[in-house]
Amino acid sequence: MDGPADSTLPDDVVLTVEEVAAFLKLDVQTVRALARTGELPAVKLGKQWRFRRDRLLAALEPATAVSSVSANQDRDGPISHAEAAQLLGVTVRTVARMISDGRLETVASPTGIRRLSRASVLAYGGASAAANGGTGGKWSTTQ
């Protein structure tokens, strides 16, 4: 077997979208979407996505008691663009614009990809609710 899952390959091998799609048994568009939202650790070089095999394998590992310190820290840790979009009730593209505008703060995650600071997302959501009079919407405290 000479593919991305081959255990004889060094860990620092760089994979293409097509190789990751074959390895994960996903469509190439799905792999691109997961990379774009930060759910798969990737780097975009020009118009091409590249994945480091070691980081990809680490991202696929289930969380264990040893690797996750506590449930509270997981709740306070960095989140993906998709998670932020869900919390704020907006699209992933809107989240990207909010990052570009400086409205949301990013941090480096343990896998080396940029994630969003959960605190900045929650603070922005709380500020938005206050600006709207605190009524209605996902951030309402009266629901």
Which residues span the domain enclosing 34? 14-60
Spatial distance between the Cα atoms of 108 and 77, rounded to a whole number of angstroms: 11
Evaluate whether residue 121 is within a structural domain. Answer: yes
Spatial distance between the Cα atoms of 98 and 105, rounded to a whole number of angstroms: 9
Do 53 and 98 belong to one domain?
Answer: no
Do 92 and 112 belong to one domain?
Answer: yes
Evaluate whether residue 140 is within a structural domain. Answer: no
Token pair belonging to 120: 């900045």
Q: What pLDDT does 28 receive? A: 92
Evaluate whether residue 95 is within a structural domain. Answer: yes
Q: What pLDDT does 99 receive? A: 85
Spatial distance between the Cα atoms of 102 and 120, rounded to a whole number of angstroms: 10
Q: What is the pTM of this model?
A: 0.42
Q: What pLDDT does 119 receive? A: 83
Number of domains in the chain: 2
Q: Cβ atoms within 10 A of the Cβ of 140, count?
A: 12
Tens-of-pLDDT digits for all 143 residues of the chain?
455 555 555 667 899 999 999 988 989 998 998 888 888 888 988 989 999 988 888 887 764 434 333 343 445 678 888 888 888 888 888 888 888 888 888 887 666 677 888 888 888 876 654 555 544 444 444 43
